[in-house]
């Protein structure tokens, strides 16, 4: 199979983990006889510095013409600490999602038995947790009408973000949730704040109508504050959850840390155009160039990329290699076993996994 991949390494630790992701992708392609080509493109703070735009038109064209996008991270403290900045790296990520029509963000949360001790939750609570969060990605407050901080006629400073949704937007993401639930344990949790927000009442209304079309799936409804507590108290309750953009952003970060490290979890963003595969963590600029960033989420994003194209054996081999590396204590510092005398960095972990794939 021929696969054209747009490579957007971005900022901070992005280039370092991307190097390992591409190396794994190439090793798998060689192993199974696929032809994979890569084209790099600018995004984030790096793109702002180079051309003044966090998602330049040239980058959009490269992404649109590719079969898939492998993305790493965006973000830089010089923008984070400047509330008056007119252009921000994260705007490039939002622009990519909007221009490519990527309305569904798929974030699996899965525990690794050998890392349960790294979780902030008790062993019996977290062991075996395995769920997927389906986050709507192109609507809500992130894309609704905005008013930047300004002084109104009464002399009071104000700002506005509009949590705007339409029925078609809600229906299409709910159907994605039902499709995933049908392929798993047939349990879908719709998360909203329908007791307070009008936009959430639209979500619940549409979901209750669609529920009748999926009688084989158990559907339940949960307010987002309750869902946040339930994820800590009983993460094994969840199978597939579906929610709006802002709630999904917060809940998926919460879900990621219960596994022991944000550096372990990949994601996919799909929709009407080229799909994007990326780790859920940020750019961690403090770790840039130190060879300490965990590349596993980036590598597992490559597994999701292969699986998207129906290449399940390829994805399975990557997952096998990642599990083997964890079991062998070939881990970056934040998840390294205290008893392990060997030290591994980003490059060493990536090389170990590549070697494993080549020998398999």
Q: Which is catalytic among the residues 193, 239, 344, 356?
A: 193
**The tokens of 50 are what?**
């180079």
- CA dist., res. 20 & res. 116, Å (int): 25
Q: Which is catalytic among the residues 53, 76, 192, 249?
A: 249
Q: Which is catalytic among the residues 53, 76, 118, 142?
A: 142
254 CB-side CA count, 13 A: 17
Q: What is the dihedral of CA 254, 255, 258, 263, to 10 degrees?
A: -90
Torsion-angle region of 279 (φ positive above 0: left; ψ -120 to 50: alpha; else: beta): beta
Structure-token match 């902030």, residue found: 120
- CA dist., res. 232 & res. 253, Å (int): 12
Residue 142 catalytic? yes
Residue 308 catalytic? no
- CA dist., res. 335 & res. 346, Å (int): 12
| Burial 103-117, CB ≥16 within 10 A → b, else e | bbbbbbbbbbebbbe
- CA dist., res. 326 & res. 337, Å (int): 10
Residue 193 catalytic? yes
Burial class (CB in 10 A: 0-12, 13-18, 19+), 76: buried
Neighbours of 336 (CB within 10 A): 15
**The tokens of 162 are what?**
């509009």
Q: Which is catalytic among the residues 225, 234, 327, 355?
A: 225
Residue 118 catalytic? no
Q: Which of 79, 108, 64, 98 is nearest to 12 (CA)?
A: 79
Q: Which residues are catalytic?
A: 142, 193, 225, 249, 253
């Amino acid at each position: 199979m021929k696969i054209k991949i747009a490579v957007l390494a971005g900022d901070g630790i992005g280039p370092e983990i991307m190097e390992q992701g591409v190396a794994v992708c190439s090793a798998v392609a060689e192993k199974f006889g696929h032809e994979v080509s890569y084209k790099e493109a600018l995004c984030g703070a790096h793109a702002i510095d180079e051309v003044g735009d966090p998602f330049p038109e040239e980058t959009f064209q490269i992404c649109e013409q590719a079969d898939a996008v492998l993305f790493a991270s965006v973000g830089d403290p010089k923008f984070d600490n400047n509330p008056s900045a007119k252009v921000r790296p994260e705007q490039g990520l939002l622009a990519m999602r909007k221009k490519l029509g990527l309305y569904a963000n798929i974030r699996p949360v899965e525990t690794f038995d050998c890392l349960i001790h790294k979780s902030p939750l008790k062993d019996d609570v977290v062991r075996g947790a395995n769920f997927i969060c389906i986050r709507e990605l192109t609507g809500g407050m992130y894309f609704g009408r905005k008013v930047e901080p300004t002084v109104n006629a009464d002399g009071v400073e104000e700002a506005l973000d509009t949590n705007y949704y339409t029925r078609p937007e809600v229906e299409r993401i709910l159907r994605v949730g039902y499709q995933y639930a049908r392929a798993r344990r047939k349990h879908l949790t719709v998360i909203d704040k329908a007791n307070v927000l009008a936009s959430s009442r639209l979500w619940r209304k549409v979901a209750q109508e669609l529920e009748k079309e999926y009688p084989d799936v158990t559907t339940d409804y949960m307010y987002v504050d309750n869902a946040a507590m339930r994820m800590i108290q009983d993460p094994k309750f969840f199978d597939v959850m579906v929610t709006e953009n802002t709630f999904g952003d917060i809940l998926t970060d919460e879900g990621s840390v219960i596994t022991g490290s944000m550096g372990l979890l990949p994601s996919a963003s799909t929709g009407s155009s080229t799909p994007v595969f990326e780790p859920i963590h940020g750019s961690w600029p403090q770790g840039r160039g130190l060879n300490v960033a965990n590349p596993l989420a980036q590598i597992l994003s490559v597994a999701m990329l292969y699986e998207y194209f129906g290449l399940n054996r390829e994805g399975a081999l990557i997952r096998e290699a990642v599990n083997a590396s964890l079991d062998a204590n070939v881990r970056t510092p934040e998840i390294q076993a205290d008893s392990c005398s060997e030290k591994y960095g980003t490059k060493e972990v990536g090389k170990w996994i590549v070697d494993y794939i080549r020998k398999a």
